Structure 1
Amino acid sequence: MRLLSIPLIALTLSAILQASAIATPPAAPTDKTAAKPLRLAFITCAVDQKFFDPVKRGMNDAATALNVECDFLGTPGVDVPAQIELVKKAVADGYEGIAINIIDAKAFDDVIADTIAKGVPVVGFNVDDSASPNARLAAVSQQFEAAGRKLATLALPDVPQGAHVLLTKHDEGVSALVERSRGIQEVLKSKGITWTAVVTGNDAVAGARVVAKALRKHPEIRIILGSGQSDTEAAGRAIEASFPQQGYWAAGFDMSPKTLQLIEAGAIRFTLDQQPYAQGFYPVVQLTLNLRYGLAPASLDAGAGVIDKKNVARVKQLCEEGFR
């Protein structure tokens, strides 16, 4: 499977969008009628999480540019069977293309294959199933295990030999968090780390209490490494509220306005961003070009950009504008 970078595909997309503004469309596009835009559905878990706000912004911007209709659908939390049912319902409701957050490496295989067999193209976004067979045409997602290794490599100089480290995730059953955690532990095993793991939940405020409880139970811990957005924010909140100026620090993944504030304050040293705007924008392009012109989509690496005190002000501005 081809894997392209975001900057490379951005140049190609720019040319496509400029050309579409002046070119005559092909004689027989696959839209039902020229006046009826394609209908696309994004289907995810944790649909109301702040992380997905830039995804929705990217989705809507691409939909406007390409004259298609998009809906962002999903389950309140992590509920794989319910998410699978949403895919089936989207097909029954007449959506012509679907982007799925493939949070389980096996559970979505059948429904994706069945959907494509019915003539509805499927791509992945946010979390991909790249390690096992899956019929999805392509995906826009971070390379999670590599991102975990990157986080650990950045943290490595500040992790003492034989340290006790708290490793967090916000949910069970999300393959991305497992892969990131595996990458983190792989790099840091040379340090002889003792690991304690906790699940914080998707509410960062409540999650901060979970983190604080673990830190009180294990007073020797000074380092918290997160594997997702809300648990990374929860770690920073716990340090800020309960352990300020005591040598505690956190690092993790993704961001929110509060995470950026915590980076400015020093409670979180850095976070790795997976560019969620791109995860909303490019699946719309992939599905639209496939449906209209039969173009096979290529997978895109959403990246693992570092956000720390050096660049947080710029990122904060883009976050306020809805792009990060």
Structure 2
Amino acid sequence: MRHNKAWLAALVAVPLALSGCSGTGQTTTAATTDAVSGTIAVVTHSTPGDNFWDVVKSGAEQAGADLGMNVTYQGDGDPVKQSQLIDAAVASKPAGIIVSMANPDGVRGAVEKAVAAGIPVITINAGMEQSKEFGASTHVGQSEYLAGQGAGEELATAGATNVICVIHEAGNVALEERCAGAADKLDTVTNLQVDVANIADAKNTISSMLLSDPSIDGVLTLNPGIAVAAAQANEEAGGTAQLATFDVSADVTKLIEDGSILFAVDQQPYSQGYLPVVFLTLQLRNGDVAGGGQPVYSGPAFITKENAAQVAEFAVKGTR
């Protein structure tokens, strides 16, 4: 996503005028208390070194810079530790909180505490189905089940019938929904659990699966790092399986361009970071609530050989 500063200036001009904010936009409306800072806290289930979450972080920080809001970012894949990060953010009395919910039940208490404290909350990426129930004003992401169906349809069109769906984070409901959606459109789908923190082991696991069962003719990964590992594993196993992935990186776009990967389902993580900061700022400055009680979709978009070069330009910059 490329942000358009002229459009953005027009978007926030009225809220700035109505709220009487300074040019920096760091003061809040009269509806907030003096104890509330101009900080938006982002707390996700990210793990260190995950390119996807680096892009989300970049989007959030850029939106903060564009709007004059201070944005902090923290992440932990353990729902207990993520909840502790949310609790700490609540204690700091931020203007708003942005949370991903890979394990909704695991972070529910912390999210509901934030809402009870009067802090506006927007959820992103995972937890769309639970977002409204937990008190968030909206959710920014994609329908993972529908995106999975789209991926399944594309793989089926390419001739795949027996597909392994590689889940890289245990307990992540969004990943499970993607695989379930794909299974709805394919003859056979087998879920394969790997650990995104150990890419080398993931490659070996995928390679072993392909070598042990020659009838597997498709691999669907749900993370760009795992996608690269799957491409290597497929080559080691003879290169006969059709590969597809969720999410994009510079390496993934290269593999799409050379035909090693059929396509990537892009949920546009830069938007998932950028948009909720915009939405919270508008809510604070003008009382606007985006989405009308419904999720705001950041995807899916499909990256294929036809448009991979265009997307690669932004992937290299770290915005796709």
> Structure 2-normalised TM-score?
0.86
Question: Alignment length, in residue pairs?
Answer: 304
CA distance in 2, matches of 1:18, 1:95: 23
Partner of 1:3: none
Alpha-carbon distance change, 214 to 276 in structure 1, aligned in 2, over 3 angstroms = same
Choose which of 228, 233, 237 in structure 1 pairs with 2:232.
237
**Do 1:101 and 1:128's aligned partners in 2 also have CA atoms closer than 8 Å?**
yes
CA distance in 2, matches of 1:119, 1:260: 42
Deviation, 1:174, is 0.5
**Do 2:51 and 2:249's aligned partners in 1 also have CA atoms closer than 8 Å?**
yes
Residue identity in the other structure for 1:152: G
Please list the CA deviations of residues 9-67 of structure 1 after superposition, one character each: whole Å capped at 9, or x if unmatched. x998563135568x46438724667xx96111111112431111221221122101111
**Do 1:177 and 1:228's aligned partners in 2 also have CA atoms closer than 8 Å?**
no
Residue identity in the other structure for 2:78: D
Partner of 2:84: 85
**Do 2:40 and 2:96's aligned partners in 1 also have CA atoms closer than 8 Å?**
yes
Partner of 2:250: 257
CA distance in 1, matches of 2:94, 2:201: 37
Please list the CA deviations of residues 211-246 of structure 1 after superposition, one character each: whole Å capped at 9, or x if unmatched. 111112213222112233333332223224x135x4
> Structure 1-normalised TM-score?
0.85
Q: Secondary structure at the match of 2:174?
A: helix
Partner of 1:134: 134
Please list the CA deviations of residues 176-199 of structure 1 after superposition, one character each: whole Å capped at 9, or x if unmatched. 1011111000112xx3x2x33212
Alpha-carbon distance change, 187 to 11 in structure 1, aligned in 2, over 3 angstroms = farther
Show structure 1 runs of 5+ residues with no match: 1-5
Partner of 2:308: 312
Deviation, 1:287, is 1.5
- Range 200-209 or range 50-59, more displaced: 200-209
Q: Secondary structure at the match of 2:134?
A: coil
Partner of 2:93: 94
Partner of 2:74: 73
Residue identity in the other structure for 1:15: A
Partner of 1:124: 123
What does 1:96-175 correspond to in 2, within 5 Å?
96-130=95-129, 133-159=133-159, 163-175=161-173
Choose which of 195, 209, 212 in structure 2 pairs with 1:214.
209
Partner of 2:277: 284
What does 1:187-202 correspond to in 2, within 5 Å?
187-188=185-186, 191=187, 193=188, 195-202=189-196
CA distance in 2, matches of 1:125, 1:183: 20
**Do 2:15 and 2:286's aligned partners in 1 also have CA atoms closer than 8 Å?**
no
Show structure 2 runs of 5+ residues with no match: 22-27
Alpha-carbon distance change, 101 to 318 in structure 1, aligned in 2, over 3 angstroms = same
CA distance in 2, matches of 1:50, 1:154: 25
CA distance in 2, matches of 1:271, 1:248: 16
Deviation, 1:159, is 2.9
Identity of matched residues, %:
27
